[in-house]
Structure 1
Amino acid sequence: MASPTSGIVDIHTHMYPPSYVEIMESRTTIPIVRKFPQASDPRLILLEEEVKSLEDALKDPQAKVPGRPLTTHYSSVQQKIHFMDTHGIQKSVVSLANPWLDFLDASESPAIAKKINEEFSDLCGQYPRRLFFFAALPLTASLEDILGSVEHVRGLKYCRGVILGTSGLGKGLDDPRLLPVYKALAESKLPIFLHPHYGLPSEVWGDRAGEYGHVLPLALGFPMETTIAVTRMFLAGVFDETDEQGEWESVTWNTAAIKKATEGKSAETEAILGGNATRVLRLDEEF
């Protein structure tokens, strides 16, 4: 298929450079990558809820394997481009998936971050104008090292921001120690792509959570995790401490934004502004 000409941009798409996979394969506790005789692809195991399933699968070749398949789609740039062409995607901003570098020791995370970010930059260089990336920061390291990493990635040609989990330096994104990092990113014009990973406490999902795979912690836990993280940032005044970076008009609750988003579709505008509520709640019925 020929390269697409439409303007579709995919900003939520993950890849794992070879050096990152090697690190995960060398580990003995989650997050880890493991191979199982009953699975054709290696499995990436991230969640605490999967530990028992991991132990069972390692003991019993007939047991259900935990985690998610780590297929070559996560490492092959050719397969990434093929996926983009197949689905009419003009550009992709790729990023390292969770748990990023959050599990590394402070002594090793800066060097590993530098290597991985340069691997991403080289990967994107194979398809200029089509591939860009969000960098990973060594958040377990010192503030000096983190700021040094920001300075490094701002100079990488294809870097367009950073991917950040909700834990930050370990105490959440409302942690005052993160303010210098936020300011450095704002000054460097590097947006934060906020991504969940840690979810909600396992007891929320009940004793049978392990039977349900990723449905509860991902489909329900992840959106709630990011909602809580951003709300904490707002309540702590984080956004008041950094330069104004603009807003997404489409998520601003006002009639102008709705009318603009549904331009030329008066029935849809009416439905959003009150028609749906009137119909569902029977607000126009006689008393």
Structure 2
Amino acid sequence: MSEQLMSARAARDRPVIDIHTHALPMPLLRQLERRGLADLSGMADHVLRLDPDLCGLAPGAAIPFPPEQYDLELRLASLESMGVTHQAVAAPPFVFASESPDASLVMDVTRRANDALAEFVAASSGRLVGLATVPVGLPDAAEELARCMDELGFAGATLGSYGAGRELDDPVNEDLWSALAERRCFTLLHPSRVSSRDRLADYHLVQLLGYPMETALAVSRLIFGGVLDRHDLVLCLTHGGGCVPGVAPRLDLGWHRKPVARVTERVPTEYLRRLFYDTAVFDTKTLARLVEDMTARHVLLGTDAPFDLRDQQPVATVRALGLEVSQEDAVLGGNAAALLRGLFPEVAGATVSGAGSPVPDLRARRRRSDIGAGLATLEIESTAVEGHGP
């Protein structure tokens, strides 16, 4: 089935691009192991352990470590099995060191991770493109972004939800936001810590519940902190935005009724409609609602591969929504191809919305008196995908 889907897409010159994937190349892990920051003894059991300052987990916590994280041949074979033609690859948040107080450690590991990832994707014959890790909370973040984009040839960036003891709306991040906006740099926001690790320690709740909550917190601070008023970011939220789509009406209510929260030009949901979201929500009805609320041109295919909590059949997931062909193509790859500029020139001018309009100029949209005006409601009959999700 996936081969047929790929053939049909290829016939229309439409790549299927997964924008939310991860890799941990072995050169990086060997360097960390030599410094006592990584334990690779569990590789045979597909388990990795990292220093708590790096991973943000409890000491000795087992991190899933499938070989597709570092074995390029297996990685490319996994693309075929999922019906994906290209992947944007980022380091996972376990090497962001978001809660480390040691700025020199954070910058050193970040640079090494970016160097290793650049080598990993360079050997993929164009099937993989890299997203640079930028360390929020540190004044050198914009400099590392420039190095990765200009020297290492990355396609975009990824960043965590917290860093160096600072929230995303802290003034220390202003230079980074300015640099990302000026470059029109596609940026994947990934949760990288949780606010109450002790309460989430059991049942894998850090990832299952803590991460979606963290995304909602991070984007709320970007909104109320005025970051999205000051900077026009090409920002994509992982896991379908986590909890924020569900709590968005409550944020609007607070903006209307609480003077302390009325600190932005517009209600929170108008900012949320400017952002992008991946499809990694693992439920057809939930994904259909996300597409309905944010429109097809703001949703991008994302799986969280190769972790166990991934969408194993992403093309089937999107096709189950019953979208129009142009909308389906947009979600599967057209949106990503237009945002990861210069990497897919054959579709760079392609339309990516059901209405046939290109990816919108967000700066022009921001000048409108009502950003949310005219958003079309998609009529979607959602159907469950049999055996969907991990």
TM over 0.5: yes
Could you say which residue in structure 1 is the equivalent of 2:77?
A: 82
Sort the Cα spacing of 1:270 and 1:164 in 2 relative to 1 into closer, same or farther, 3 A. closer
1:225 aligns with 2:214: yes
Deviation for aligned residue 1:169: 3.9
Could you say which residue in structure 1 is the equivalent of 2:173?
A: 178
1:13 aligns with 2:21: yes
Q: What SS class does the counterpart of residue 188 from structure 2 fall into? A: strand
Could you say which residue in structure 1 is the equivalent of 2:103?
A: 106
Instruction: Confirm or deny: 8 A CA contact 1:199 1:222 kept in the other structure.
Output: yes
Deviation for aligned residue 1:176: 1.6
Deviation for aligned residue 1:150: 1.6
1:201 aligns with 2:196: yes
Q: Deviations over 1:181-226 (max 9, x none)?
A: 0111111222221111212313434xxx44x2x1x22111110110
Sort the Cα spacing of 1:161 and 1:168 in 2 relative to 1 into closer, same or farther, 3 A. farther
Deviation for aligned residue 1:128: 3.5
Cα distance in 1 for residues equivalent to 2:57 and 2:155: 34
Deviation for aligned residue 1:79: 1.1
Cα distance in 2 for residues equivalent to 1:49 and 1:254: 33
Q: What SS class does the counterpart of residue 11 from structure 1 fall into? A: strand
Instruction: Confirm or deny: 8 A CA contact 1:179 1:241 kept in the other structure.
Output: no
Could you say which residue in structure 1 is the equivalent of 2:379?
A: 269
Sort the Cα spacing of 1:244 and 1:191 in 2 relative to 1 into closer, same or farther, 3 A. closer
One-letter amino acid of the counterpart of residue 130, structure 2:
F
Q: What SS class does the counterpart of residue 89 from structure 2 fall into? A: strand
Sort the Cα spacing of 1:106 and 1:197 in 2 relative to 1 into closer, same or farther, 3 A. closer
Structure 2, unpaired ranges of 5+:
10-14, 235-273, 278-289, 298-321, 326-377, 383-390
One-letter amino acid of the counterpart of residue 193, structure 2:
Y
Identity %: 24
Sort the Cα spacing of 1:255 and 1:198 in 2 relative to 1 into closer, same or farther, 3 A. closer
Deviation for aligned residue 1:180: 1.0
Could you say which residue in structure 2 is the equivalent of 1:40?
A: 45
Instruction: Confirm or deny: 8 A CA contact 2:137 2:170 kept in the other structure.
Output: no
Sort the Cα spacing of 1:241 and 1:232 in 2 relative to 1 into closer, same or farther, 3 A. same
Instruction: Confirm or deny: 8 A CA contact 1:106 1:140 kept in the other structure.
Output: no
Cα distance in 1 for residues equivalent to 2:17 and 2:126: 11
One-letter amino acid of the counterpart of residue 45, structure 2:
S
Q: What SS class does the counterpart of residue 12 from structure 1 fall into? A: strand
Could you say which residue in structure 2 is the equivalent of 1:276?
A: none
Instruction: Confirm or deny: 8 A CA contact 1:95 1:135 kept in the other structure.
Output: yes
Q: Deviations over 1:124-174 (max 9, x none)?
A: 222243210111124575x2x322212111214641211111113421111
From 157, 166, 189, the equivalent of 2:184 is 189
Q: How many residues align?
A: 243
One-letter amino acid of the counterpart of residue 33, structure 2:
E
Cα distance in 1 for residues equivalent to 2:65 and 2:146: 31
Instruction: Confirm or deny: 8 A CA contact 2:24 2:92 kept in the other structure.
Output: yes
One-letter amino acid of the counterpart of residue 80, structure 2:
D
Higher relative contact order by CA 8 Å / sep ≥ 6: 1 or 2? 2
Could you say which residue in structure 2 is the equivalent of 1:279?
A: none
Structure 1, unpaired ranges of 5+:
55-65, 273-287
Instruction: Confirm or deny: 8 A CA contact 1:104 1:140 kept in the other structure.
Output: no
TM-score by length of 2: 0.53
Sort the Cα spacing of 1:252 and 1:13 in 2 relative to 1 into closer, same or farther, 3 A. same
1:242 aligns with 2:231: yes
Cα distance in 2 for residues equivalent to 1:255 and 1:139: 29
Say which one has the larger Rg.
1
Q: What SS class does the counterpart of residue 195 from structure 2 fall into? A: coil
Sort the Cα spacing of 1:173 and 1:251 in 2 relative to 1 into closer, same or farther, 3 A. farther
Cα distance in 1 for residues equivalent to 2:220 and 2:120: 35
Sort the Cα spacing of 1:9 and 1:263 in 2 relative to 1 into closer, same or farther, 3 A. closer
Instruction: Confirm or deny: 8 A CA contact 2:177 2:233 kept in the other structure.
Output: no
Instruction: Confirm or deny: 8 A CA contact 1:98 1:197 kept in the other structure.
Output: yes
Cα distance in 1 for residues equivalent to 2:190 and 2:295: 29
Instruction: Confirm or deny: 8 A CA contact 2:137 2:172 kept in the other structure.
Output: no
Cα distance in 2 for residues equivalent to 1:238 and 1:164: 15
Deviation for aligned residue 1:67: 1.0
